[in-house]
Chains A and B, each alone.
Chain A
Amino acid sequence: MSQRDFSERDVHMALDGELPQDERAELQAWLDASPEMKARSQRFEADRMRLRETFATVLDEPVPDSLARVVTGEAKKPSAAAPRWRMAAAAALLLAVGAGGGYLAGMAGLGREAQARDELAEEAIAAHTIYAAEQRHAVEVGANDRDHLLGWLSKRLGLTLVAPDLAAEGFDLVGGRLLPAGQKAAAHLLYEDAKGNRISIYVTPEGAEKAKGIYKDEEGAASAIYWLDKGWGCAVVGTLPQDQLLDIGRNAYRQLLAGAGMA
């Protein structure tokens, strides 16, 4: 058999075990005649070994219970979607990555037990933290254009969204905006009272889970009262005393359900 022309492509194929057995000796002869290509081939081979060695230890690590339980069916419930990925995106925003690696450090620091409701609350708090602090750009559409705002958000969320009337608690609608929530959309409604206190209502279509509770941000200030039910999630976020926030949350949730025809 006459020696065929080899190229770097064949070097890669040989490394990956894709070069036919009967061509390997010929390739070796070709490499021996080309010191530069041979050195390159050897560096690739060394890198391949290094990669394999670097990650080999993962196979010896004990399988985390949390993963085994997903398969054995002992997990309490599957989290609706990518737990920390979405939070990582929020964290990246909040950390305002300056120093390189802030992103990774942020991800490593997030709790391991994150689940759909934590996610909902985290995202709602992130939205509140970012937008309630804004003076001029707190909302995308103002309360003066209320019908347009609610029509638009309802359409994007796929449910009838109302802006709860919280006048009894002293809060008026400032306006709202559309936000990304993973692959889905979320609505953020901002309210303000006469003293300038702000609260947020965050609504998103959110899987089949059923849960409710209070979530306090580890960073401190804001709390979220949340509900997950009937295929959507709602959170009321603010820095008010918890009892007051809870009252507002219950009132808002009742109105949201009634408005969406789910009461």
Chain B
Amino acid sequence: MDERRAAILAEIPRLRRYARALLRDRDSADDLVQDCLERALARMDNWRTGESPRRWLFTIMHHLFVDQTRKTKRRAEVVMLTLDNSEALSSPAEQAESIASREIMDALQAISPERRAALVIVGIEGFSYAEAATMLGIPAGTLMSRVARGREELRGLLDDVARRRTIRMVER
């Protein structure tokens, strides 16, 4: 296996994490990674010498994600519901998740895809604003504001969940 393929192979865990944070569902996330890898291999010529394979691959995957979210706009509305019913909806693979993890994953899915991508790529993946802005193809100022708004929105949703839980406890 040549060096380039080995470098791509080494990035798969990171790509999977990014995809999982974007989509939550494991199978859908792995499909996104698979599409990203296929596209990357088909376009190896576009990979400039010296460019970090990570940034190159994340850029490809982000574009695929954006295409996908355009196709499935209804997702947001469905996932919003899971904030209320998350217990009933957990699939077997998700049962091992702690309540705290599940809440934050639900909340992350409920914020807009643009803000989610910005928050994840900076907050979880640890890219700098400049790197993230380049990968997402937006000005640094826009990126910053998406990260900030995303973080605020996430906190707001988690506050709502906590409030509802408090109300339920009081009702008992």
Contact = CB atoms under 8 A, between A and B. Distances in A.
Interface of A: 8-9, 12-13, 15-18, 43-44, 47-48, 50-56, 58-59, 61, 63-64, 66-68, 70-73, 78-79, 81-86, 88-89, 92, 97, 100-105, 107-108, 110, 112, 182-183
Given A59-B17, A107-B27, A100 B5 contact: no
Interface of B: 1, 5, 8-9, 12-14, 16-17, 20-21, 24-28, 30-35, 37-38, 41-42, 64, 67-68, 71-72, 74-75, 78-82, 84-85, 88-89, 91, 93, 97, 100-101, 104-105, 108, 119-120, 122-124, 128-129, 144, 147-148, 151, 154-155, 158
Q: Is the interface of A mostly helix, strand, loop or mixed?
A: helix
Contacts of A182: 71
A199 B157 CA distance: 48
A55 B21 contact: yes
A82 B35 contact: yes
B21 A73 contact: no
Most buried by A among B28, B31, B93, B129: B31
A249 B129 CA distance: 55
A47 B100 contact: no
A263 B1 CA distance: 41
6 contacts: A47-B151, A61-B13, A67-B12, A71-B41, A84-B31, A112-B27
B105 A100 contact: no
